[in-house]
Amino acid sequence: MRRPVIIIGGGISGLSTAYFLAKAGIPSTLVEARPRLGGVIWTERVEGCTLEMGPDSYLAQKPWALELIRELGLESEVIASNDHLRKTYVLKHGRLVPLPDGLMFMVPTRILPLVSTRLLGWPTKFRMALEWFHPPQGHMGEDRSVAAFVEQHYGREAVDYLTEPLLSGVYGGDPSRLSILSVLPRFAELEARYGSLTKGVLHSRRRAAAEARSTPLFQTLRGGLQQLSDALAERLRDAVEVIRARAEAVEPGWRVRVNGEWLEAEHVVLACEAHNAGALLGWEDLASVPYSSSLIVSLGYARRGFDHPLNGFGFLVPRKERKRLVAATWVNVKFSHRAPEDKVLLRCFLGGEGQESILSESDESLLAGVQEELREIMGVTARPVFWRIARWPRSMAQYTVGHQALIREIEERVERHPGLHLAGNAYHGIGIPDCVRMGRQAAGRIAKARAA
């Protein structure tokens, strides 16, 4: 029997596609290799704590995740980050130094905090002041690496101690490879228009300040983000046939081989990682979209005997500091409802580009390494009462220089293959809201094609 739609990949992109198809009255078949739906979204409950084994929140400014959450009736479960307690530290020469106030990502907008910070030396501070005179380009120009872009404006130290750690916590990526046009397009626009990023940010400050006052930075769900994927799976129970197996091949026509058997469909949505999508289609350029590998180590401690004040959201570790930890979140502070009063929950992020080998280390070795670094950096000597490790091989797409051109080329080829659709974190945004949006768009295109 020819199916209307087969979706490959049951992460948030595939689930969103299936949901919006179902809403349009179009049944689909979802093929997922893992036993669990949700992809990298995975929440565990341990000793009263809510552990996010993958993503822990989404950017509130991007509306698509919240819109879906509302449709699913989960709005009362939405909680915001405790932004009044937001302070992020960066490790410099072995000590935690707070990010200065007034930074818009790596762009300084206030003089006093910049002058007084110990995070940057005087040459960088002078350079940041002189950046005001950076001439406007008038156009966006060629794609460049984020590192080259920032170095041109603020110098190398700003790359090493601001941009690199800030980006590592999001992309697990290397700023000397990441694309300014794909990763920080707003700053490329500001450069084109104002020359100086500081000038550009200050010009748009009033609007941004109003937005910042009304919107928290991050949102999540009280019981963890898996509430979202679970709610989607539950909602789709009757409308979607789920096949728990790895899709082995895809052929134009369309047909998908699963467990050695060919399933036919009018439309195929590849909502899996680009390397898997590329392998299924035999498209080398698609398979070549780079991905970083990372892992999350969650550690729970008894509050009594835990001798750190947890006065902020956590810390970032620049590569220059040569640690295995990339970032650590002090979960109790960042979000309410994540840990009971008598527990402290730390979420540590490791890996990232060039650090893939860490994924093959044993749990014992990883745990020992993380504990040692938490002792050095935070002075934590207590032993955790529980810990969990989640490994994420090749899960986070890297938008490297030339990404937009590559994706444009791939999407033009997709257009020449009616019935084929791509959705997922490799294309137009790696965060959960963007994945929801891409799933919705794929469903919209299918509904339109079927109506024509």
* Span from 186-194, 232-240, 268-276, 372-380 in contact with ligand FAD (CB under 6 A): 268-276
Give the number of residues written for the chain: 452
Binding residue (CB under 6 A) for ligand FAD from 296, 328, 350, 370? 296
Instruction: List the interface residues with ligand FAD, window 129-168 (CB under 6 A).
Output: none
Beta strand segments in 367-410, E: 386-397
Q: Which of 6, 10, 274, 334 binds ligand FAD (CB under 6 A)?
A: 10
Q: Which of 23, 34, 193, 445 binds ligand FAD (CB under 6 A)?
A: 34
With binding defined as CB under 6 A, does residue 41 bind ligand FAD? yes
Binding to ligand FAD in span 64-93, by CB under 6 A: none
Q: Give 119's contacts (C-beta < 8 A, 6+ positions apart).
A: 90, 92, 97, 98, 99, 100, 161, 162
Binding status of residue 26 toward ligand FAD by CB under 6 A: no
182 sits near ligand FAD (criterion: CB under 6 A): no
Rule CB under 6 A: is residue 320 a binding residue for ligand FAD?
no
At 70, list the tokens.
């509302």
Q: Near ligand FAD by CB under 6 A, which window of 35-43, 68-76, 150-158, 313-321?
A: 35-43
Q: Does residue number 32 form part of the binding site for ligand FAD (CB under 6 A)?
A: yes
- Residue 155 Cβ vs ligand FAD, minimum distance, rounded to whole Å: 29
Nearest distance, CB of residue 432 and ligand FAD, angstroms: 4
SS3 of residue 405 by DSSP? helix
Cβ closer to ligand FAD: 31 or 442? Answer: 31
395 touches ligand FAD (CB under 6 A): yes
For the bound state, the minimum distance from the C-beta of residue 74 to ligand FAD, rounded and expressed in Å, comes to 16
- SS3 label, residue 300: strand
Q: In whole angstroms, give the CA distance from residue 298 to residue 330.
A: 10
**Using CA atoms, how far apart are residues 62 and 217, in angstroms rounded to an integer?**
10
Q: Site for ligand FAD (CB under 6 A): which residue of 149, 161, 291, 392?
A: 392
Residue given tokens 């228009």 in the structure block: 193
The 338-377 site mask, x for binding ligand FAD (CB under 6 A), equals ----------------------------------------
Asked if 412 contacts 283 with a C-beta cutoff of 8 angstroms, the reply is no
**Given the complex with ligand FAD, which of 69 and 430 has the nearer CB atom?**
430
DSSP letter (8 states) at residue 384: P
Judged by CB, which is closer to ligand FAD: 145, or 425?
425
| CA–CA distances in Å: residue 241 to residues 15, 269, 385 | 12, 15, 41
CA distances from 46 to 77, 84, 244, 298 (A): 19, 27, 27, 10
Question: Cβ(177)–Cβ(165) under 8 Å?
Answer: no
Got the DSSP string for 127-166? HHHHGGGPPP-SS--S--BHHHHHHHHH-HHHIIIIIHHH
**Cα dihedral sign, 263-266-270-276:** positive
> Helix axis angle, 226-235 relative to 12-23, nearest 10°?
40
Which listed range, 12-20, 314-322, 340-348, 413-421, lies at the site for ligand FAD (CB under 6 A)? 12-20
Of residues 7, 13, 313, 321, which one binds ligand FAD by CB under 6 A?
Answer: 13
Query: For residue 391, which amino acid is it?
Result: R
With contacts defined by CB under 6 A, name the span among 366-374, 379-387, 388-396, 399-407 that binds ligand FAD: 388-396
272 forms part of the interface with ligand FAD (CB under 6 A): yes
Q: Residues 432, 442, 443, 446: which binds ligand FAD (CB under 6 A)?
A: 432
Q: Tokens 């200065």: give the residue.
A: 100
Among 5, 6, 11, 230, binds ligand FAD (CB under 6 A): 11
Whichever of 380 and 422 has its CB closer to ligand FAD, that residue is 422
| Count of residues of this chain found to bind ligand FAD when the rule CB under 6 A is applied | 37
Amino acid at 411: E
Tell me which residue of 372, 367, 430 sits closest to 398, measured CA to CA: 430
Rank residues 34 and 324 by Cβ distance to ligand FAD and give the closer one: 34
Would you say 40 or 389 has its CB closer to ligand FAD? 40
* C-alpha pair distances (Å), 322 with each of 92, 312, 418: 11, 23, 49
Among residues 364, 363, 327, 365, the alpha carbon closest in space to that of 346 is found at: 327
Interatomic CA distance for residues 194 and 138, integer angstroms: 8
Residue 40 near ligand FAD by CB under 6 A: yes
- Shorter beta-carbon distance to ligand FAD: residue 41 or 120: 41
Binding footprint of ligand FAD on the chain (CB under 6 A): 8-14, 31-34, 39-41, 54-58, 246-247, 271-273, 276, 280, 294, 296, 392, 395-396, 424-425, 430-432, 435
